[in-house]
Structure 1
Amino acid sequence: MLAIEKISDLPSGFAETAVTIGKFDGIHLGHKKLLSNLVAAADEHMLASVVVTFDRHPDALFKPESAKLPLIGPGQKLVHLEESGVDAVLTLPFDHEFAALSARDFVQQILVDGLHARLVLVGEDFRFGAGGAGTPETLKVLGAEFGFVVRVIGSANIDGVKVSTTRIRELLDQGDVTKAAELLGRNHYSAGVIEHGLKIGRTIGFPTANMTRECEGYLPLDGVYAGWLYADGEKYPAAHSVGINETFQAVPRLVESHVIDRLDLDLYDKFVVLEFVAFIRPAAKFDGVEALVEEIHRDLDKCREILEI
């Protein structure tokens, strides 16, 4: 898959394209529906499939004080887009200059002159151009003028509820990683490098891998989760703890993971993936080490049962 940040980076002679456009801030089932339709249509019409996306959510530019953290980071986004089978991803900087483009200028500069689009697929809630003035109907009118066809792909629904990034974030904020996984079409996960921490866990018999605070992947509600840890091509059953360790010392919010029944792993400085499978309990402060150790044993028993190990 070709990943570029400027249209000028497209190779000379790049094929005419089938394009979809969006934030793709979760790569959930709705996004996957759009992407699968894109790849199929591109193959059918012998076009290159291209995703146009952005380096940040518009709220990060216009409402930074209230902008929500993304469900996935830029690295995760590219991984999932590549898995979808698209030929290229164009990640444009969403800055004030770009945001000021009219709907018509966006179409002419990006889709027509830049990507030589012949087919454009968008979701039913798609908005584009300055102030979000452009709609799918606007795009169809411009498509007729500039010579490309527009297809509007309906949303994905689970149990009558529209799949959306907002709904998934709400579920993660409630700790319901199991329901979130249904809307994502996969388990939610965080990915990053393991760094040295206070090493408190190993002093009580439960060493933990502390993920860097620069990790990608939205952290769910503070608490303990059953899940999996992936490192060096291996998959390990694990208990993940999200939050701050108030029993010993308040530290910045992070996720740390204990690989179940393994005391011999050295994960420092390794890139790992922490996958969330099920919520065990909310975060709590304990009256001393003994109470904490007892609770950890109960947590691990629940994890073993959920993960069937």
Structure 2
Amino acid sequence: SATDFVVMLRERLCMEELWVGEDFALGRGREGNVDALREMGGRWGFSVHVIRPVAVDGQVISSTWIRELLAQGQVDEARRLLGRPYSLAGEVVAGARRGRCLGFPTANLAVRPERAVPPDGVYAVYALIGDERWPAVANIGERPSFNSGQWTIEVHIIGYEGDLYGRDLVIEFIKRLRPEQRFTDVCELVAQIGRDVEEARRLFAAEAAEAREEHGERIP
């Protein structure tokens, strides 16, 4: 019930403030609406704040809309609505090391199963390593060229040569470059990965130039 969930938030997380949308509701039959939550807040000592809706192109931004965009691979549009890139975090785990053999070493990212993951394909992403933000290319899927049958998120971090095994990694999705493809020839696969990396490089360079222009630093 809404009451049980609120009690859990208060007791386990020591919740002091709850921020919700205008039409938000918790529990069976949407019993935990804003008025009910405010009443509970008065009883258990937390405040409820209502966030006014924000619209883009005449449509109110909602989590449902953003999830639909992510499910379609439209990570760039989701980024526009969120005001930031959609991100996934997880631990870097051991893989088959095929990427290293192909000349494009990858970090295999293990993410929590409940997270919304964009559809299989190749994406331009940023990889956050400590305080540094690296350009990268991520492949999501089962690597059909190797008949592995194992679904993975593999991230090639452009220019990075360190060891990430066992470390936490965050990736920010910028744009979907293409769907996952099957290649019968390893040389074709390597050539395509090279093209993916170059396309990502161009995208990141354009973003950097645009950011500098926005800050008044004209590009010659």
Fold-level similarity (TM above 0.5): yes
Deviation at 1:278, TM superposition (A): 1.0
Deviation at 1:218, TM superposition (A): 2.3
> Where does the alignment leave 5 or more consecutive residues of structure 1 unmatched?
1-98
Deviation at 1:239, TM superposition (A): 0.6
| Paired amino acid for 2:139 | S
CA contact (8 A) 2:89 2:111 kept: no
Question: C-alpha separation between the residues in 1 aligned to 2:87 and 2:9?
Answer: 33
Match of 2:194 in 1: 297
Match of 2:168 in 1: 271
Q: How does 1:1-309 map to 2 (within 5 A)?
A: 99=1, 101=3, 122-128=20-26, 130-136=28-34, 142=39, 152-214=50-112, 217-262=115-160, 264-308=161-205
Task: Rate the CA distance shift 1:210–1:154 in 2: closer, same or farther, 3 A.
Answer: same
Q: Count residues in correspondence.
A: 201
CA offset digits 1:108-142 (Å, max 9, x no partner): x999xxx9x8x9764221224543235345567x5
| Paired amino acid for 1:249 | N
CA contact (8 A) 2:91 2:111 kept: no
Question: C-alpha separation between the residues in 2 aligned to 1:110 and 1:259?
Answer: 38
CA contact (8 A) 1:101 1:130 kept: no
- What SS does the aligned partner of 2:144 have? coil
Deviation at 1:208, TM superposition (A): 0.6
In angstroms, what is the RMSD of aligned CA positions?
3.3
Deviation at 1:212, TM superposition (A): 1.7
Q: TM-score, normalised by structure 2?
A: 0.76
Question: C-alpha separation between the residues in 1 aligned to 2:107 and 2:9?
Answer: 44
Question: C-alpha separation between the residues in 2 aligned to 1:216 and 1:233?
Answer: 26
CA contact (8 A) 2:79 2:86 kept: yes
Match of 1:34 in 2: none
Question: C-alpha separation between the residues in 2 aligned to 1:280 and 1:177?
Answer: 10
- What SS does the aligned partner of 1:235 have? strand
Q: TM-score, normalised by structure 1?
A: 0.56
- What SS does the aligned partner of 1:247 have? helix
| Paired amino acid for 2:199 | K
CA offset digits 1:202-255 (Å, max 9, x no partner): 111111111124477421111111111111322211111111111013243221
CA contact (8 A) 2:123 2:178 kept: yes
